[in-house]
Amino acid sequence: MIAGCPLGPSTAQATEEPGRQHLIRELEHADKRMDKGAIRIQFKDDAVLSFPDELPFAGNDAIASLYEYLWQTVKMKSVGYSVDRTEETPEKTIEYGRYFFSKGDTAQETIAFKAAFERTGSPRRIAELVYGDTEMISPELLKPTGDYAVGQATHFYNKTGTKTGRVMAFQVWYPAKPDDEEKAVYQSAEISRAAAEFLGLPSFALSFTSLVESNSFNQPPVVSKRKFPVLIYNHGYSGFTSVYQSIFEELASHGYIVVSIGHENESSLLIIDDGTIITTDPKSEFYASRAQELNGPEINSIQETILSSDDLQENDGAYRQLVKLSPLHNESTRLWASDTRAIIAKLRQLDTRDQILRGAFNFDAMGVFGHSVGGAAAGQLAFGDNEIRAGINLDGFQFGDLINNRLGIPFMFVSSNQQANSYLRAKSFMHESETVCYQVTIKGFSHGNFTDLEQFMPGRERATKLQRDLILAFFNKYLKNNDVDMSDLERKFPEVTLSKNSK
């Protein structure tokens, strides 16, 4: 959608009416008065506002909060709108023109705008407001490339319904035969707002995620008469179960059942099967104490050694010191592994009883993967557990008990490599492993690349494509026993460096 052009195909005629009372004036007055309530009224509940080269803001609550934020931070000296022309369509009244503003003592600046108003109601509310002459960014998830359609279901069990006395919350993506075209929600406005507030961001910061359409269908039947390998995912600390959905959909489309787990007190939010959420207070003692544990010169020095030293003994010693100084992260790693085992037990029940997923789980081909602390939980499950057949740690320091044990399954450590030669060395774990173990580094990646957020800006989809290929190749090789040459990834993605032990 380009500012200055119609929203879509239309036979309406553009008109020049300088004397007309333009609808944008109500927004201008509310902006000048700095009246948040009046701003909210000017926009439809599902309105969208966008600036050039920025992800859009969605919903009148988010947009009103954005205006309030700008009043407090930008401190505009003057604002105003000049309407050049108006267009009428059967659905909307569209005003095109220029927005004038100045900040402090700066000269007045001008930017084009397009405002689309609903045709009925009082006031006539804004459905879409676009600033600038560039096309609005439409955030999208990459389409899955496999042969299967993807189903999605959410499961939540209160403490009273679990043997561990902990809340059990997880989402499942699976190969499906959809009966209709109802898509599952990617992230609701409630989820995007709660996630932003948990991270200390303005409530509007992630509102664009509510515009994203998933590639999953809402609870269709699983593909029948087939059993599929099972992949268990644990998110990074303070994440939640749908933050890596592009990867989940891709894996499910290639014939995997993917289960993403939420953790009581440590996920930013837990999603209930009716779509509502339970939020976590980041100021709680449980959460805040863990956030503080990794701060300080001694532990930072140890982490730096892990990130920079190629010496095996230094790597081993640094990891032992890190684990010694991180009792709370070790506790969380063990707790998440325990949650994972409890949910595997629940999946076994679903395999016999659930109307949607019954009979679909191949528990003889089960893998684990995770990001950050979720990656450490994967490592925690990679020894002494004959249920798990393969695992991946995505950019996580390996807390927990693996340093005193040996990897017993094929495993892959994946690390970001944003600066120089700094990446998470896994030398000690590779050397002590009883089986094949890979070290993968991805040049230019940061810790935050291992979520969906990276792909929503145009031109940044490559990071997600790389991760989909990497994870799929590994599990295809070690769970499906496909003939996969892992080194092909280095040829396809020059930013990837891959090495493995001699096992």
- pLDDT per residue as tens digits for the range 469-503: 999 999 999 999 999 999 999 999 999 999 999 87
For residue range 213-257, list pLDDT tens digits in order: 999 999 999 999 999 999 999 999 999 999 999 999 999 999 999
Q: Given the DSSP bridges, would you call strands 257-262 and 126-131 parallel, antiparallel or unpaired?
A: unpaired
pLDDT of residue 7: 28
pLDDT of residue 18: 57
**Tokens 């380009």 found at:** 2
> How high does pLDDT run on average in the chain?
92
Enumerate domains of the chain plus CATH numbers: 14-131 (3.10.450.50), 149-500 (3.40.50.1820)
For residue range 284-340, list pLDDT tens digits in order: 999 999 988 999 999 999 999 999 999 999 999 999 999 999 999 999 999 999 999
- What DSSP designation does 208 have? G
Sheet containing strand 168-176, strands side by side: 183-185, 213-218, 149-157, 168-176, 257-262, 228-234, 361-371, 390-394, 411-417, 437-443, 496-500
State the Cα torsion 88-90-93-94 to the nearest 10°: -70
Give 461: exposed, middle or buried? Use CB within 10 Å, 0-12, 13-18, 19+: middle
Q: Which helix (H) or strand (E) element contains residue 229?
A: strand 228-234
Residues contacting residue 105 through CB under 8 Å, at least 6 positions apart: 77
Comparing CA positions, the residue from 366, 374, 319, 316 lying closest to residue 345 is 366
pLDDT of residue 502: 84
Average pLDDT over residues 20-27: 90
Asked whether residue 110 carries a pLDDT value surpassing 80, the answer given is yes
pLDDT of residue 19: 56
Using CA atoms, how far apart are residues 367 and 387, in angstroms rounded to an integer? 9
